[in-house]
Amino acid sequence: MTKLAAKNHIVGLKCKECARRYPETALHVCEFCFGPLEVEYDYEVICQRASRKAIEAGPRSMWRYKDFLPVQPDDQLVDIGAGLTPLVRSKNLAEALGLDQLYLKNDCVNPTYSFKDRPVSVAATKALEFGFEILSCASTGNLAGAVAAHAARAGVRSFIFVPSNLEAGKILGAAIYDPVLVAVDGNYDQVNRLCSEIADRYHWAFVNINMRPYYAEGSKTLAFEVAEQLGWRAPDHVVVPVASGSMFTKIWKGFQELAKTELLPERLPRMSVAQALGCSPIATAYFNGTFNVKPVIPDTIAKSLAIGNPADGYYDLKIIEESGGAAETATDEEIVDGIKLLAQTEGIFAETAGGVTIACLKKLIASGKVRRDELVVAYITGNGLKTQEAVADQVAPAIQVGPTLTSFEEAFCKLDHPANVAAVA
């Protein structure tokens, strides 16, 4: 027993392509084949430690699944309360879509209002363990805020690289945590390239470059929580908004790990990809029946999903095939309709990525790829207050009245709204 407790649950890093092994360091690409590296675990050790009971008694955050995350027992967790977000049983939206059982994983309510707090919490913890003093990333929004906030909590400096044409409003959500914000003259693609070069030269922890294998693992908690919140069962089908494709692979890995450690029965969910039509390289490959993802130049209002060259696209397609899932796309108009539908049926205001998920779910149901009798979970990964421009011209203006009852009632009578009929009667 003591022997097991002392045993490390992390084996190291392993290349996803050639299976070469590397020690647990800040490394993300295989030296031999340049394939991506992934954290490898000793599941026997995890199996001994983790139980449903222990998890349920754990902290009320994603860190209740610490045994499944790539951190050491004595690590100082950089925890600002990410995770354990609500899994909402949908009634109105389920009815509108014609589903028997629909649940919404509401990750809009994380500390910086998107699921990115999960991977960043792991990356920041690991960065401290490795002795980094600077946390960094390239971003256009959600990631920037998550990294700056976690750096503030960890007491380290952060460098956030953004394209210089970014809207001021988007920058504010990161700037408030006082990072060094670097506005780069160039598009997002160019910012990425610059960051790869900087990561090569400087000893900084770039959460989405050299810390990527650890960072990505944080998204597994999106699967763990859903399984626990459903009373320790896997959904039949999940629909996930996809950009680089990383989160999608980790949700799958999360469900697999629960099955592997006997916390869940073997049955795994079908996994479906939701993409914006204006940036849908993975869905396009799926429609064409190929595993060859062709990069595109993004053109969509779903900016958080605008990655034209998705690093994990190939792996996503493999998971779709293995799990019996599908892929779907949503036009800008459908995305806006999806945001409105979700807000107006369930009271959840999601950013454009959530609009993509709902719009794609609707189409997957229409085409029969999501069956009406399946228990479906839709992942809502970011908050609508972050992308207000997307729907600003879509909401009804306020009615203008004077501060008198007469003025109000004059306006009220003209309202074409069921409420006034009821109120007058």
Partner 1 sequence: MARVRVKFTFPPMLIKEPVIHNMSMQHNLVTNIRRANVTKDKGWVVLELEGAQDAIDGAIASVTAMGVRVDPVEGDVIEG
- Of residues 284-323, those binding ligand PLP (CB under 6 A): 304-305
CB–CB of 113/145 below 8 Å?
yes
Asked if residue 242 binds ligand PLP (CB under 6 A), the reply is yes
Asked if residue 245 binds ligand PLP (CB under 6 A), the reply is yes
Q: How far apart are CA 135 and CA 148, in angstroms?
A: 8
Choose from ligand PLP, partner 1, Zn ion, none: what does 15 bind? Cβ within 5-8 Å by kind. Answer: Zn ion
Q: Which CB sits closer to ligand PLP, 81 or 308?
A: 308
Asked if residue 18 binds Zn ion (CB under 5 A), the reply is yes
Q: Which CB sits closer to ligand PLP, 50 or 271?
A: 271
Per this entry, what is the length of the chain? 425
DSSP assignments along 291-306, one per residue:
S-PPP----SS-GGG-
Closest to 69 (Cα-Cα) out of 144, 119, 2: 119
Closest to 226 (Cα-Cα) out of 94, 83, 114, 92: 83
How many residues bind ligand PLP, per CB under 6 A? 16
CB–CB of 93/51 below 8 Å?
no
The stretch among 186-194, 196-204, 244-252, 407-415 that binds ligand PLP (CB under 6 A) is 244-252
- Please state the closest distance from residue 237 (CB atom) to ligand PLP, in A: 18
Choose from Zn ion, ligand PLP, partner 1, none: what does 140 bind? Cβ within 5-8 Å by kind. Answer: partner 1
The SS3 call for residue 220 is: helix
- Cβ neighbors of 70 (< 8 A, separation 6 or more) are 10, 24, 39, 41, 122, 126, 213, 214, 217
Considering only the C-alpha atoms of the chain, give the largest distance between any 2 of them, rounded to a whole number of Å. 79
- Please state the closest distance from residue 420 (CB atom) to ligand PLP, in A: 38
- Please state the closest distance from residue 387 (CB atom) to ligand PLP, in A: 9
Please give, one letter per residue, the 3-state secondary structure of 1-26: CHHHHHCCCEEEEEECCCCCEECCCC
Would you tell me which residues interact with partner 1 (CB under 8 A)?
17, 28-29, 32-36, 114, 116, 119, 138-144, 146, 188-189, 192-193, 195-196, 208-209, 212, 215-216, 243-244, 246, 290, 292, 294-295, 304, 306-312, 382
Q: Which of 33, 172, 366, 421 forms a contact with Zn ion (CB under 5 A)? A: 33
Residue the block writes with tokens 């069921």? 418
CB–CB of 272/237 below 8 Å?
yes
Asked if residue 173 binds ligand PLP (CB under 6 A), the reply is no
Q: Which residue is nearest to ligand PLP (CB)?
A: 382
Distance linking the first and last C-alpha atoms of the chain = 72
Summarize as ranges the residues that interact with ligand PLP (CB under 6 A).
114, 142, 241-248, 304-305, 351, 353, 381-382
* Residues near Zn ion (CB under 5 A): 15, 17-18, 20, 30, 32-33, 35
